[in-house]
Amino acid sequence: MDAKTLTLLHDIFQEVQQKRDWKTALDTLFVSARGAFVFDNVAIYLEDPKTKSVEGIYARAVGRGKTAEADAAWGESVASDVLAKKQIVLKQPTQLEKNSDRLALAHLLGVPLYIGSRLSGALVFIRFGGPSYSDPHIQLASLQSFWAAALIERKELQEARAELDSVQRQMRLQDDFVSTITHELRTPLGFIKGYSTSLLRQDTIWDDATQREFLTIIDEETDRLTKLIEDMLESARLHSKTLQFKFSPVRVDSLVRDVTTRITTHHPQLRVSFDIQPIPPIHGDGKRLSQVFENLFSNAIKYAPDSQLTIAMYATADKLRVTFADKGEGIPQEYLPFLFERFYRVPGERTVTGTGLGLYICKQIIEEHHGTIWAESVLGVGTTFFIELPVGDTGL
Ligand code: ADP
């Protein structure tokens, strides 16, 4: 290798090292190396240890034949050869082919890719119309394969760590959930038991107004308990994908207005304003979609008390978008990615009761409709929930 190539390699390695994302790092590795080693496409294949089939995990077209970027199938057989022979594979056009269009002739070079000490895949280069690969080119390709393996290993480590973090978080959430649910079940039960025992006392005569007050508390606490148990059952069914959905044409605008009327009957202090454009009916389960909005209302009442709520709705050619905005305290950015996880509650002082199931249920229901739900929030300004649902063939 000459001094010029060494300087080039040094510069490439420095640049690659700075890239955080593995794909961008690989792009840099291959594109910059073209100064010393010209090729048209490159792809990386890994072998599935169980099925032994090879799968393209990265493909990049830098020269001719750019369409090959999306479809890395061109190098699969060379990659399989590399894995079977455990060595570098060169596939040059045959004499017969050489008489055809020069630019259509593919020169392929497959290099083994070792992750740790295990032969895990292959790096395959393609060059249209030659020239053939020289020894320095093959050396450089081997070096790139070594470097690519290190980047893939780093990526796998990062993924494993993210997976571990997620499992640990789930376990912590489950623990929190047990204590939350114990508290959430005990509180209404305590009220129900206390007030019914009081009403049953032989030594006290309660006047009508007091009796009514006690019975109202018992009634409300029973509702709270029922809602809690329903949420738990429903989230379990949604989690195991056993909840039945009944789809029919639904007008989301009327559905939202109905839910609002129902909620404001119980919470007359709520101020809700609408900005609803004409929207087509969608194919959905009205009962479940109502539940989504009931949960959003219930959260707004709990976490953004006394706030004005704004519900907006409009449709594009293929989507219906609903936004549900409050002007509450907001949610710190770092917690937003977890909001829709099962049992997740934003950490902090626990003045408001809850189970962390509401938004999980909302997300599952919306996803069952092939839609998406997410939240944006600005501290001290408020939180907005966004829902997008596909508008399409409603069967009308
Ligand atoms: P729960 O209300 O039972 O805790 P959810 O799944 O409905 O569970 O909500 C998850 C968390 O998201 C809540 O604990 C709360 O911290 C936060 N949250 C939800 N809605 C809002 C809102 N409108 N404003 C601020 N925080 C919210």
pLDDT at 128: 86
Domain total of the chain: 3
CB of 326 sitting under 6 A from ligand 1: yes
Are 134 and 56 within one domain? yes
CB neighbour list of residue 224: distance below 8 Å, 6 or more residues apart: 188
Give distance in angstroms: CA of 285 to centre of ligand 1.
24
Are 46 and 155 within one domain? yes
CB of 228 sitting under 6 A from ligand 1: no
Termini Cα distance of the chain:
70
CATH code of the domain covering residue 116? 3.30.450.40
pLDDT at 68: 47
Residue nearest ligand 1's atom 27 by CA: 303
136 is a domain residue:
yes
CATH code of the domain covering residue 358? 3.30.565.10
Domain boundary among 110, 130, 162: 162
pLDDT at 350: 67
Residue nearest ligand 1's atom 7 by CA: 358
Which string of DSSP letters, residue by residue, matches 180-234?
HHHHHHHHHHHHHHHHHHHHH-TT----HHHHHHHHHHHHHHHHHHHHHHHHHHH
CB of 299 sitting under 6 A from ligand 1: yes
370 is a domain residue:
yes
Atom of ligand 1 nearest to the CA of 348: 16
Range of the structural domain that residue 85 is part of: 3-162
User: pTM of the full predicted structure?
Assistant: 0.65
CA torsion through residues 151, 152, 157, 159, sign: positive
332 is a domain residue:
yes
177 is a domain residue:
yes
pLDDT at 396: 41
Give distance in angstroms: CA of 373 to centre of ligand 1.
14
Q: Rounded distance, CA 195 to CA 221, Å?
A: 11
Are 302 and 382 within one domain? yes
396 is a domain residue:
no
- Closest C-alpha to 61, from 46, 83, 82, 39: 39
Are 84 and 202 within one domain? no
Residue-level pLDDT, tens digit, the chain, 396 residues: 677 777 877 888 788 777 778 888 899 888 888 777 888 899 999 999 889 899 999 998 876 655 544 456 789 999 999 999 999 999 988 766 656 666 678 899 999 999 988 999 999 999 888 788 889 889 989 999 998 999 999 888 888 998 998 888 888 888 888 888 888 899 999 999 999 999 999 998 999 999 999 999 999 999 999 999 999 999 999 989 899 999 999 999 999 999 999 999 989 999 999 999 999 999 999 999 999 999 999 999 999 999 999 999 999 989 999 999 999 999 999 999 999 999 899 988 767 888 899 999 999 999 999 999 999 999 999 999 999 999 975 544
CB neighbour list of residue 129: distance below 8 Å, 6 or more residues apart: 64, 102, 103, 104, 105, 107
Domain boundary among 109, 134, 162: 162
Atom of ligand 1 nearest to the CA of 326: 23
Tell me the best of 227, 231, 339, 364 to mutate to test the pocket of ligand 1, counting ligand atoms within 8 Å of each CB and taking the most.
Answer: 339
Residue nearest ligand 1's atom 24 by CA: 303
Say which residue the tokens 């509702």 belong to.
Answer: 223
Is the separation of the CB atoms in 297 and 263 below 8 Å? yes
Q: Rounded distance, CA 153 to CA 142, Å?
A: 17
201 is a domain residue:
yes
373 is a domain residue:
yes
CATH code of the domain covering residue 233? 1.10.287.130
Tell me the best of 224, 227, 234, 303 to mutate to test the pocket of ligand 1, counting ligand atoms within 8 Å of each CB and taking the most.
Answer: 303
pLDDT at 69: 47
DSSP for residue 248: E
Are 155 and 191 within one domain? no
Are 383 and 314 within one domain? yes
Are 276 and 233 within one domain? no
395 is a domain residue:
no
CB of 291 sitting under 6 A from ligand 1: no
Enumerate the H helices of the chain as residue ranges: 3-18, 22-33, 76-85, 135-200, 208-239, 252-266, 286-303, 358-368
Are 90 and 187 within one domain? no
Are 230 and 113 within one domain? no
Are 115 and 228 within one domain? no
CB of 56 sitting under 6 A from ligand 1: no
The CA–CA distances, whole Å, from 94 to 90, 97, 100, 289, 321 equal: 12, 5, 11, 63, 58
Residue nearest ligand 1's atom 3 by CA: 354
Are 217 and 269 within one domain? no
Per the structure block, which two tokens stand in for 382? 């408020």
CB of 124 sitting under 6 A from ligand 1: no
Atom of ligand 1 nearest to the CA of 360: 6
Give distance in angstroms: CA of 334 to centre of ligand 1.
14
Give distance in angstroms: CA of 183 to centre of ligand 1.
17
Are 381 and 303 within one domain? yes
| Pair type for strands 382-390 and 54-61 | unpaired
DSSP for residue 328: S
CB of 382 sitting under 6 A from ligand 1: no
- Closest C-alpha to 288, from 225, 168, 371, 173: 371
pLDDT at 169: 86
Domain boundary among 207, 239, 271: 239
